[in-house]
Amino acid sequence: MAKRPSISFSKSLEPAEGDTLVIFTDESLALTESAAALGIGDLVARAAATAQFKGKGFAHLDLLAPSGVAASRILVFGLGKAEALKEVDWSRLGGAVMGALRKGERAILLAGRPDAVAITPAEAAEIALGALLRSYTFDRYKSRKADEDDKEQKSAPSLTIVHAEAGKAKKLWSGRAAVGEGALIARDLVNEPANVLGTLEFAEKAAALAELGVTIDILTEKQMKKLGMRALLGVAQGSVRPPRLVVMHWNGSKTQEKPIAFVGKGVVFDTGGISIKPAGGMEDMKGDMGGAAAVVGLMHALASRKAKTNAIGVIGLVENMPDGNAQRPGDIVEAASGVTIEIINTDAEGRLVLADALWYVQKTYDPSLIIDLATLTGAIIVALGHDHAGLFASDDALASQLLSAGLVTGEKVWRMPLGAAYDKQIESKFCDIKNTGGRDAGSVTAAQFLQRFVKDGTPWAHLDIAGTAMGSPQTETNRSWASGWGVRLLERFVADNHED
């Protein structure tokens, strides 16, 4: 993994020789007062006319070796209609800036708007967050190394954001940096190959959160057998890698409020089991633990910024393999809750893992609400593509809070239906329910299945992130195959609704 960039704040700092100067403009192509004071107005105007640069949002103009200034490069970024910018746009802008920087480059960003409306300290911190997210690369397994003489050029860029309230921006940035690191941790987990990151290795990564004050409890296969978790264990029985259930507890509230709970699907590799997947694209199934990765990243973010909330993170870690001991279609298993399940398709395994994890977190911690995340169905990609995750919720207020957090962070969700009519599709001839209801409304019936394992009266939401956790379109803040989706959404959900 590449080294993180240096991101700092300063009240005033003029570019030195070799630095890159970053300034903002809008569709009027006016400059900020601080940029104009450097005497670069004519230079920028002539370059903009030549390049037909219009100041559109996130577009930029690149001036190399400009005369009359110490900077070796000037980057002029468009804000479009600055008054229309939303919170998420500032992080997008920061990502665009970082994306334009070269390795080893020292950049100074003058955080001002040409319309004389101040960029707030919070907006400056969002710029920094976007820059951090965009800086991420996963190159751990690249064998080519930088030459000794080229170390400076190959190092991460540095970015200093010049802002009139640099102290306030820096303080806010400490919290945003925690969120950014959580998202990057989630990306790392999803990007790792399955031969490196198995169930035990994943559990160790989660256990490292103890250094931040998170209480860790790891249930072994033997303990889960005693608890009757035959749904989760059935998925794991075809693999030589033992299953684990990892519980992460952050107790940051001064009150004795019930915790909020987050549950993640952690299938470290999914072949489909006996109902084996086609070979084409199966390599992507190393990312079938994107839900668990997001929960670990979220718990890191909450603990790192000392969130004033009580939160439980639970991840079920298994590998789904077609061994001679693997679960078969037609098998019937009893979940820890007592619900019996007919296995129709062993590739509908994530819901079995979540069934026992949902039961456990309720039985043990009696949370005030539960949100689960899972790369659960291809059907949600058919329905929503890669721009939104599917949201299924038993509680309108909870759904509304998640929808709002999605719009603010850019990790958007779209509410999908739940209803008794869909239950008919998962009725079994031989036991209580079956683990798939067929192709029609596949993401809905999967959510209906999960709802069977949530107590009546407990607010619950299910996020199907199959289309957003991996292989989603590249953005200003992400060029990685793994997106770390869910960390920013859920951290904002907590911050807005569940802190002292």
Q: Residue 118 in contact with residue 32, Cβ under 8 Å?
A: no
Pick from 88, 51, 180, 83: nearest CA to 75: 51
Closest CA to 498 of 260, 286, 339, 152: 260
Whether the Cβ atoms of residue 230 and residue 334 lie closer than 8 Å to each other: yes
Alpha-carbon distance of 389 to 407, in angstroms, equals 12
Report DSSP letters for 470-488, one per residue.
BSPPPBTTB-SSB--TTHH
β-bridge partners, 463: 373, 391
In degrees and rounded to multiples of 5, residue 75 shows phi and psi of -110, 120
In whole angstroms, give the CA distance from residue 216 to residue 218: 7
Q: Could you tell me where the DSSP H helices lie in 101-211?
A: 121-134, 151-154, 166-191, 199-207
Which one-letter amino acid corresponds to residue 90? W
Residue pair 234/356 in contact (Cβ under 8 Å)? The answer is no
Which residue, 227, 261, 240, 268, is CA-closest to 350? 268
Residue 216 CA to residue 408 CA, distance in Å, equals 31
58: left (phi over 0), alpha (psi -120 to 50) or beta: left
50: Cα within 13 Å, side-chain hemisphere: 9
Q: Are 372 and 265 in contact (CB under 8 A)?
A: yes
Place of tokens 């019930």: 258
CA distance 225 to 223: 5
Residue the block writes with tokens 């639970």: 314
CA 252/CA 213 separation, integer angstroms: 9
278 secondary structure, DSSP code? P
To which H or E segment does residue 390 belong?
strand 389-393
Distance from C-alpha of 360 to C-alpha of 34, rounded to nearest angstrom: 57
* β-strands 244-251, 215-219 pairing: antiparallel
Active site members:
277, 351
* Phi, psi (rounded to 5 degrees) for 135: -70, -15
Task: Give the number of residues written for the chain.
Answer: 500
First-to-last alpha carbon distance for the chain, in angstroms, is: 36
Residues 364 and 160: their CA atoms lie apart, in Å, by 47
